[in-house]
Amino acid sequence: MKDLFAKIYKDKGPLGKWASQAEGYFVFPKLEGEISNRMKFQGKDVITWSINDYLGLANHPEVRKIDAEAAATYGSAYPMGARMMSGHTDLHEQLQNELAAFVNKEAAYLLNFGYQGMVSTVDALVSKDDIIVYDVDSHACIIDGVRLHMGKRFTFKHNDIESLEKNLERATKMAEQTGGGILVISEGVFGMRGEQGKLKEIVALKKKYNFRLFVDDAHGFGTLGKTGAGAGEEQGVQDEIDVYFATFAKSMASTGAFIAADKEIIDYLKYNLRSQMFAKSLQMQLVVGALKRLDMLRTMPELKENLWKIVNALQSGLKERGFDIGTTQSCVTPVYLKGSIPEAMALVKDLRENHGIFCSIVVYPVIPKGLILLRMIPTASHTLQDVEETLEAFSAIRTRLEDGTYKRVSAKLMEMMGE
Ligand SMILES: Cc1ncc(COP(=O)(O)O)c(C=O)c1O
């Protein structure tokens, strides 16, 4: 019989296999210093474009103060136990009520982590007779939630309403046989390429098909919509989203998440979300910190205005210089270039070492072979000077990519990788 670990010794997995070339630099890099537009990487100052601190709250003095005070008052343990048992407090309730009001829903419920919470919410919303129809480019937390589902599921082509409708037809036929219902899942903003989910078009299909809509708005919350309530507000369909999800890990610059819906639905989820029923409650320090951050989202519209000033400067500057930024409709700013993985590595190294620019790099298999995606996250803490320096650097690296410099630099690596 085989040793269970035999496969692990042999194959480190699609990402793990790059570890010896990539770890510490391209993956698991250590960014140091206070979270802001400029941080340190391997002792060098870099302009940071890879942190989802959209509104620049992570290091805001008022946020730092309240976080420190809450830690001094409550420590990091309180309250102990799951919400249902011994981990419930007035402030948890207050935060839920304020979040619900902010996203225009009747009620909300806190989640310890967005990822687990999403998995668990998908799980709790469906029974084996129900059918899930979800966007094929969904975040891993949606896919993992769907994996728990014992019944049928269909994917629709990314943001493709015709494909959604086709799958709704199939799902409707199937649901008529099983006696179940249909859950459609989309993201408010797709975090890799920045397109908004076509929520308005999805919602319009409710006239023809009977389904409920669950939206993961991790990147829309705080950044989109007049009040910052997210992609549903931006597209004028917040009321038609049956279950709304957002995390604190982006605009709120913290940890935790929430779902919001009609009161009866939240009352049900409260008693059926396994990730919350069987896990310790969100600690008070984070609850107090989230109340403060939410208050800032409500009362400081300049945070979102500053964010968009930077987003617009960066995206229009890139377009003016002829860069392909795809079809983004949000702050997420992808830059698509053509090249192999070794070329992408040489390019990113040049950006970091010689231009002081730190952004994330995405390559095959996440995107098609031969494409390099530099993913940039503008924030309210960036300056127009940061944008200018970055645009200059991007023009310089494109020249070197096109004149074959990176191909030459990476020749040895390419040989090793059989490119
Ligand atoms: C679309 C999306 N959903 C869910 C999550 C998970 O949230 P959390 O970091 O709170 O676990 C993320 C990443 O943070 C995300 O990008």
Nearest protein Cα to ligand 1, atom 15: 218
Quick check: 117 and 245 in contact, CB under 8 A?
Answer: yes
- What are the tens digits of pLDDT across the range 120-153? 999 999 999 999 999 999 999 999 999 999 999 9
Does ligand 1 come within 6 angstroms of the Cβ of 186?
no
- Closest residue by Cα to atom 8, ligand 1, is 114
> Taking the mean position of all CA atoms in its chain, how far away is CA 334?
14
What is the distance in A from the centroid of ligand 1 to the CA of 408?
Answer: 38
How far apart are alpha carbons 266 and 260 in whole angstroms? Answer: 7
Does any domain span residue 218? yes
143 Cβ below 6 A of ligand 1: no
Using pLDDT thresholds of 50, 70 and 90, give the confidence band for residue 65: very high
Q: Is 245 in the pocket of ligand 1 (CB under 6 A)?
A: no
Instruction: Indicate whether residue 254 lines ligand 1 (CB < 6 A).
Output: no
Give the Å distance between the CA of 86 and the centre of ligand 1.
27
Instruction: Tell me if 323 is assigned to some domain.
Output: yes
pLDDT-based confidence at residue 92 (cuts at 50, 70, 90) = very high
Can you tell me which residue has the tokens 């709250």?
57
Q: Are residues 67 and 161 in the same domain?
A: yes
Identify the pLDDT of residue 154: 98
Same domain, residue pair 135 and 275: yes
247-272: average pLDDT: 98
Q: 50, 113, 115, 189: which to mutate for ligand 1, most atoms within 8 A of CB?
A: 115
Packing angle of the helix pair 284-299, 301-320 (nearest 10 deg): 70
In angstroms, the CA 190 to CA 351 distance is 25
> 312 C-alpha vs ligand 1 centroid, how far in Å?
24
Query: Per the structure block, which two tokens stand in for 378?
Result: 């503008």
User: Given this model, what pLDDT does residue 416 score?
Assistant: 61
Residue 290 has pLDDT above 90, yes or no: yes
Mean pLDDT for 283-287 is 98
Q: Which pLDDT value is given to residue 415?
A: 65
**Residue 243 and residue 338 share a domain:** no
Q: Work out the average pLDDT over 336-345.
A: 90
Question: In terms of domains, do 235 and 94 share one?
Answer: yes
* β-sheet with 360-362: strand ranges across: 333-338, 371-376, 360-362
* Same-domain pairing of 332 and 293: no
Residues 78 and 227 in one domain: yes
Q: Indicate if ligand 1 lies below 6 Å from the C-beta of 222.
A: no
Using pLDDT thresholds of 50, 70 and 90, give the confidence band for residue 77: very high
- The count of residues in the chain is 419
Dig out the tokens for 199 from the structure. Answer: 């929520």
**Stretch 328-356: mean pLDDT:** 94
Report the pLDDT value the prediction gives residue 363, as an integer from 0 to 100: 82
Instruction: Please give the number of the atom of ligand 1 that sits closest to the Cα of 256.
Output: 10
Both 292 and 305 in one domain: the answer is: no
Structure token pair of residue 109: 């419920």
Residue 247 CA to ligand 1 centre (angstroms): 6
Same domain, 152 and 181: yes
Q: Measured from the CB, is residue 137 less than 6 Å from ligand 1? A: no
- Number of Cβ atoms within 10 Å of the Cβ of 385: 10
% of residues, the chain, pLDDT over 90: 89
**Averaged over 284-296, what is the pLDDT?**
98
Do the Cβ atoms of 46 and 358 come closer than 8 Å? yes
* pTM of the shown model: 0.96
Q: Is the residue at 1 inside a domain? A: no
pLDDT at 317: 98
Chain centre distance of CA 398:
28
Nearest residue by C-alpha to atom 2 in ligand 1: 218
Ligand 1: does its nearest atom lie under 6 Å from the Cβ of 339?
A: no
Cα 219 to ligand 1 centre (Å): 8
Q: Are residues 226 and 340 in the same domain?
A: no
8: CB partners within 8 A, 6+ apart: none
Alpha-carbon distance of 202 to 213, in angstroms, equals 8
Nearest CA to ligand 1 atom 10: 114
Q: From CA 328, how far away is CA 336, in angstroms rounded?
A: 12
Please state, rounded to an integer, the average pLDDT across all residues of the chain. Answer: 95
Which residues constitute the domain of residue 190?
61-299
Q: How confident is the model at residue 19 (pLDDT cuts 50, 70, 90)?
A: confident
Q: Choose one of 284, 299, 314: the last residue of a domain.
A: 299
Counting ligand 1 atoms within 8 A of each CB, the residue from 51, 141, 251 with the most, and so the one to mutate, is 141
pLDDT of 419 over the 60 cut: no
Q: What confidence score (pLDDT) does residue 366 get?
A: 80
189 within ligand 1 shell (Cβ under 6 A): no
Binding site membership of 135 for ligand 1 (Cβ less than 6 Å): no
User: Of 299, 330, 361, at which residue does a domain stop?
Assistant: 299
Q: Is residue 406 lining ligand 1, measured as CB closer than 6 Å?
A: no
Lowest mean pLDDT among 105-109, 175-179, 212-216, 398-402: 398-402
Write down which residue in 272, 299, 326 finishes a domain: 299
The reply to whether 49 falls in a domain is yes
Q: Which atom of ligand 1 is nearest to the CA of 190?
A: 1
* Average pLDDT for 354-371: 89
Q: Give me the CATH number covering residue 151.
A: 3.40.640.10
Q: Please tell me the total count of domains within the chain.
A: 2
Q: Residue 319: which CATH number?
A: 3.90.1150.10
Residue 18 binned pLDDT confidence (cut-offs 50, 70, 90): confident
Residues 245 and 283 in one domain: yes
Whether residue 16 is contained in a domain is answered as yes
Q: Are residues 78 and 94 in the same domain?
A: yes
Phi, psi angles (nearest 5°) of residue 186: -140, 170
- pLDDT computed for residue 14 by the predictor: 75
Q: Which residue has the higher pLDDT, 120 or 345?
A: 120
Ligand 1 pocket, residue 259 CB under 6 Å: no
In angstroms, what CA-CA distances link 389 with 237, 318, 337, 338, 344?
38, 12, 19, 22, 20
Query: How far, in Å, is the centroid of ligand 1 from the Cα of 138?
Result: 11
**Are the beta carbons of 84 and 282 closer than 8 angstroms?**
no
Residue 191 Cβ contacting ligand 1 at under 6 Å: yes
8 A C-beta contact, residue 99 and residue 295: no
**Cα–Cα distance for residue pair 100/109, rounded to 1 Å:** 9
**Whether residue 288 is found in the same domain as residue 306:** no
**Residue 108: pLDDT above 90?**
yes
* Torsions phi, psi for 110 (to 5 deg): -80, 150
